[in-house]
């Protein structure tokens, strides 16, 4: 078409201008990443590619919210299908050679794809305006603007094609046949009686509109949440592979060299790693993380999404594309309140939910490291931290009394070949009057399974799991060093624990440890191999509460359920929020001491969920869950209607004891 060729120089210029702008903007956006901390994310490419296929291509997380998920999958599929079309349209402006042949399967698919995307934009806009779920917050104007632009892009393409076909139809020359009910088909129909001159103008206008919209979107996306269109590929590829761990203080700095590091943790924006900054760019503001976050649900000042969005805005201000950099406020105590940073229980619900695999726990831990480095640990934690340092437990109890719970009935391992299995008890089970019964139950279970086992006794220290997650890295390392030595000299070849926090620490935070199992895994195996028989229960409706560090962080969901299901007569119901959507009880370790500002306790919310499910017994598999839930039952006024029992205690109670 001759008028296309005449404009080709203009369009070429526009294309190059658009690309240049985009490149410049992306370069500016990359600038802070180049000044950020290192992050080792280039290893295990196959595993990373696998995740890319799972989470990016297959949109694995999206269906967790059905309607929005379906919409997004359609839109995403549409984008992928239309990708080459978009480039083809741009190329058409430069040279006739790209006009392409009409018809064919790709074109039909393409036409339907753009129609579907167009319709989805409409649905999405209406949804945002009239049926917006709470998690969307109040940022609608920008989102609607962008949705509308995409709709315009689809429509412009449709008009471009439709006007072209109508023109040819009027002239009698062959034109492509559009699949029925597709956008270009609809436009062709609409233009069937339009004057030729108008069609030419529509065609040209649509093309310009398409081009301008395309490049506008391209260059506008890096200024807001739509940047995820580009960055999602990278945020998912580079996402963290090792669950349950916490990042080192500095990647590439060994523990022995940490004393030389001038500053710990995140105090200014460049203290984040480049992947974390990329995360801030990649957030699509969908609000799913905040929707699942227990801290947010109970009114603590923490919302993961809000943290990300405001940090992204901070990055935009601190490293702007156009204007000179404006001085930012400090991070902790400025952009974030200290309470906000201490409110997180590290439950991982946010990370389990995010479709872009944005990470939160490492960022919170790094921010806490920064605060602790500056002497700003919250006052209620000073005492337990001091006790952990001087006594190896947060309660201030004497080291020599650590094994008193066992009442002399459990062997203390001294490395003299006492036993192959070490039962790592950890602090709360050792010292808390109520929780000691979990320890005794576990010991009896191991005994009755014929396991030769022992405990470290007074040589055991707190695992330090939550000391680390509350930012006191060096105290954690001291505890870990002590325990590692004690475990090595015990001669144990296998570790069992009933404490998911200890389990997670030994499995992921400690190095070169013998294999670790949680007692629920041990019992489940015994059930499967018929090594244990359990008596029936008479009444009660049981719900299993997934502890965060057993379930979400370590993927152990079925073993505890299998154990419960093997008890004859036990009626089990699932709470609505279960498995990887389990609702945190309130946190363990140091979280027990932190006084959060909240409207309600997490535990209270959780027991109400159990009550709603119709249960009368909550079974849990974590001593901290037990503390929080038993407390919550009282606070919620459900005493007499609901009880809590630990899985080990239940098994111990129902176990058919060997004579």
Which stretches of the chain bind other proteins, using CB under 8 A? 258-259, 264, 372-377, 379, 381-383, 385-387, 389-391, 396, 398, 400, 472-475, 478, 595, 634, 639-640
* C-alpha–C-alpha distance, residues 84 and 92, integer Å: 12
Provide φ and ψ at 150, rounded to 5°.
Answer: -65, -40
The per-residue DSSP string of 195-236 comes to -HHHHHHHHHHHHHHHHHHHHHHHHHGGGSGGGHHHHHHHHH
User: DSSP 3-state assignment of 421?
Assistant: strand
Q: Which is nearer to other proteins, 41 or 480 (CB)?
A: 480
* C-alpha–C-alpha distance, residues 488 and 556, integer Å: 26
Q: How far is the CB of 130 from other proteins (least distance, A)?
A: 41
Decide: 283 and 309 in contact? Cβ < 8 Å.
yes
Q: Which is nearer to other proteins, 26 or 266 (CB)?
A: 266
Burial state string for 89-108 with b = 16 or more CB within 10 A and e = fewer than 16: bbebbbeeeeeeeeeeeebe
Q: How far is the CB of 250 from other proteins (least distance, A)?
A: 13
Q: Which is nearer to other proteins, 535 or 641 (CB)?
A: 641
Enumerate long-range contacts of 635-642, CB under 8 Å, 24 or more apart.
Answer: 635/601, 635/603, 635/604, 636/604, 636/607, 636/608, 636/611, 638/607, 638/611, 641/611, 641/616, 642/607, 642/610, 642/611, 642/615, 642/616, 642/617, 642/618
* C-alpha–C-alpha distance, residues 41 and 238, integer Å: 6
Q: How far is the CB of 431 from other proteins (least distance, A)?
A: 13
Decide: 154 and 114 in contact? Cβ < 8 Å.
yes
Q: Which is nearer to other proteins, 189 or 258 (CB)?
A: 258
Q: Which is nearer to other proteins, 373 or 521 (CB)?
A: 373
Q: Which is nearer to other proteins, 448 or 477 (CB)?
A: 477
* C-alpha–C-alpha distance, residues 386 and 87, integer Å: 63
Q: Which is nearer to other proteins, 32 or 589 (CB)?
A: 589
Q: How far is the CB of 336 from other proteins (least distance, A)?
A: 18
Decide: 623 and 438 in contact? Cβ < 8 Å.
yes
Q: How far is the CB of 114 from other proteins (least distance, A)?
A: 57
Q: How far is the CB of 237 from other proteins (least distance, A)?
A: 34
Q: How far is the CB of 472 from other proteins (least distance, A)?
A: 6
Q: Which is nearer to other proteins, 62 or 369 (CB)?
A: 369
Q: How far is the CB of 475 from other proteins (least distance, A)?
A: 4
* C-alpha–C-alpha distance, residues 499 and 507, integer Å: 12
Q: How far is the CB of 387 from other proteins (least distance, A)?
A: 7
Q: Please name which of 362, 240, 354 lies closest in space to residue 291, comparing C-alpha atoms.
A: 354
Q: How far is the CB of 389 from other proteins (least distance, A)?
A: 7
Q: How far is the CB of 635 from other proteins (least distance, A)?
A: 8
Q: Which is nearer to other proteins, 249 or 519 (CB)?
A: 249
Q: Which is nearer to other proteins, 92 or 266 (CB)?
A: 266
Give burial (CB, 10 Å; 0-12/13-18/19+) of 442.
buried
The per-residue DSSP string of 564-578 comes to HHTSTT-EE---SS-
Q: How far is the CB of 373 from other proteins (least distance, A)?
A: 7
Q: Which is nearer to other proteins, 62 or 480 (CB)?
A: 480
Q: Which is nearer to other proteins, 397 or 571 (CB)?
A: 397
* C-alpha–C-alpha distance, residues 165 and 185, integer Å: 9
Provide φ and ψ at 110, rounded to 5°.
Answer: -60, -45
Angle between helices 436-448 and 519-528 (to 10 degrees): 30
Q: Please name which of 460, 468, 306, 308 lies closest in space to residue 393, comparing C-alpha atoms.
A: 460
Q: Which is nearer to other proteins, 406 or 475 (CB)?
A: 475
Cα 649–Cα 458–Cα 427 angle in degrees, nearest 5: 45
Q: How many CA atoms lie within 13 A of 260 on its CB side?
A: 5
Q: Please name which of 332, 340, 426, 403 lies closest in space to residue 371, comparing C-alpha atoms.
A: 332
User: DSSP 3-state assignment of 456?
Assistant: coil
| CA diameter of the chain | 100
Q: Count the helix, strand and coil residues of the chain and give each as a percent rounded to the nearest 5.
A: 60, 5, 35
Q: How far is the CB of 372 from other proteins (least distance, A)?
A: 5
Q: How far is the CB of 657 from other proteins (least distance, A)?
A: 27
Q: Which is nearer to other proteins, 574 or 595 (CB)?
A: 595
Q: Which is nearer to other proteins, 230 or 399 (CB)?
A: 399
Number of H helices, E strands in the chain: 26, 8
Q: How many CA atoms lie within 13 A of 468 on its CB side?
A: 25
Q: How far is the CB of 398 from other proteins (least distance, A)?
A: 5
Decide: 276 and 363 in contact? Cβ < 8 Å.
yes
Q: Please name which of 397, 624, 390, 392 lies closest in space to residue 486, comparing C-alpha atoms.
A: 392
Provide φ and ψ at 54, rounded to 5°.
Answer: -70, -50
Q: Which is nearer to other proteins, 445 or 644 (CB)?
A: 644
Q: How far is the CB of 264 from other proteins (least distance, A)?
A: 6
Q: Which is nearer to other proteins, 399 or 562 (CB)?
A: 399
Q: How far is the CB of 324 from other proteins (least distance, A)?
A: 32
Cα 157–Cα 86–Cα 173 angle in degrees, nearest 5: 50
């Amino acid at each position: 078409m001759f008028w296309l060729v005449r404009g080709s120089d203009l369009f070429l210029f526009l294309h190059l201008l658009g690309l240049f702008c985009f490149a410049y903007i992306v370069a500016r956006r990359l600038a802070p990443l180049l000044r950020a901390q290192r992050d080792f994310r280039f290893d295990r490419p196959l595993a990373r590619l696998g995740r890319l296929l799972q989470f990016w291509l297959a949109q694995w997380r999206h269906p967790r919210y059905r309607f929005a998920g379906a919409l997004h999958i359609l839109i995403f599929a549409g984008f992928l299908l239309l990708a080459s079309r978009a480039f083809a349209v741009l190329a058409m402006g430069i040279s006739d050679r790209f006009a392409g042949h009409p018809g064919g399967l790709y074109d039909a698919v393409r036409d339907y794809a753009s129609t579907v995307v167009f319709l989805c934009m409409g649905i999405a806009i209406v949804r945002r305006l009239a049926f917006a779920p709470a998690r969307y917050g109040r940022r609608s104007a920008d989102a609607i603007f962008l949705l509308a632009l995409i709709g315009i892009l689809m429509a412009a393409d449709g008009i471009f094609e439709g006007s072209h076909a109508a023109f040819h139809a009027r002239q009698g020359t062959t034109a492509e046949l559009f699949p029925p009910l597709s956008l270009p088909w609809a436009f062709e129909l609409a233009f069937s009686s339009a004057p030729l001159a108008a069609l030419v103008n529509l065609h040209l206008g649509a093309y310009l509109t398409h081009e301008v919209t395309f490049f506008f979107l391209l260059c506008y996306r890096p200024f807001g949440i739509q940047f995820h269109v580009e960055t999602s590929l990278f945020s998912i590829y580079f996402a963290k592979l090792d669950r349950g761990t916490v990042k080192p203080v500095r990647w590439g700095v060994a523990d022995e060299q940490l004393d030389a590091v001038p500053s710990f943790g995140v105090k200014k924006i460049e203290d984040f790693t480049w992947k974390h900054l990329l995360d801030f760019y990649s957030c699509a503001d969908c609000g799913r993380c905040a929707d699942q976050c227990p801290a947010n649900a109970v009114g603590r000042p923490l919302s993961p999404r809000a943290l990300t969005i405001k940090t992204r805005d901070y990055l935009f201000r601190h490293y702007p594309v156009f204007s000179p950099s404006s001085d930012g406020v400090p991070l902790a105590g400025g952009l974030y309140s200290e309470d906000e940073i201490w409110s997180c229980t590290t439950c991982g619900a946010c990370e389990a939910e995010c479709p872009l695999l944005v990470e939160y726990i490492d960022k919170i831990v790094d921010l806490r490291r920064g605060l602790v480095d500056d002497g700003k640990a919250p006052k209620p934690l000073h005492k337990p931290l001091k006790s952990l340092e001087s006594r190896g437990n947060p309660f201030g109890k004497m080291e020599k009394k650590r094994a008193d719970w066992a009442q002399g009935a459990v062997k203390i391992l001294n490395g003299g070949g006492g036993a192959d299995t070490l039962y790592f008890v950890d602090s709360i089970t050792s010292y808390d009057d109520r929780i000691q019964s979990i320890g005794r139950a576990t010991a009896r279970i191991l005994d009755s399974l014929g396991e030769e086992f022992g405990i470290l006794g007074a040589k055991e220290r707190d695992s330090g799991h939550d000391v680390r997650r509350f930012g006191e890295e060096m105290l954690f390392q001291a505890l870990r060093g002590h325990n590692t030595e004690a475990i090595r000299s015990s001669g144990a070849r296998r570790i069992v624990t009933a404490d998911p926090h200890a389990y997670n620490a030994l499995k992921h935070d400690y190095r070169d440890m013998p294999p670790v199992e949680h007692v629920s895994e041990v019992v489940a195996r015994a059930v499967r191999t018929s090594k244990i028989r359990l008596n029936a229960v008479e009444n009660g409706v049981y719900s299993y509460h997934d502890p965060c560090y057993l379930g979400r962080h370590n993927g152990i969901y079925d073993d505890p359920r299998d154990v419960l299901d093997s008890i004859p007569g036990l009626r089990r119901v699932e709470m609505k929020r279960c498995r990887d959507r389990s609702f945190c009880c309130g946190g363990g370790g140091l979280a027990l001491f932190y006084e959060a500002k909240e409207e309600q306790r997490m535990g209270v919310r959780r027991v109400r969920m159990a009550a709603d499910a119709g249960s009368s017994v909550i079974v849990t598999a974590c001593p901290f869950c037990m503390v929080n839930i038993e407390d919550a039952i009282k606070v919620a006024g459900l005493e007499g209607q609901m009880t809590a029992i630990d899985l080990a205690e239940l098994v111990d109670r129902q176990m058919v004891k060997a004579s």
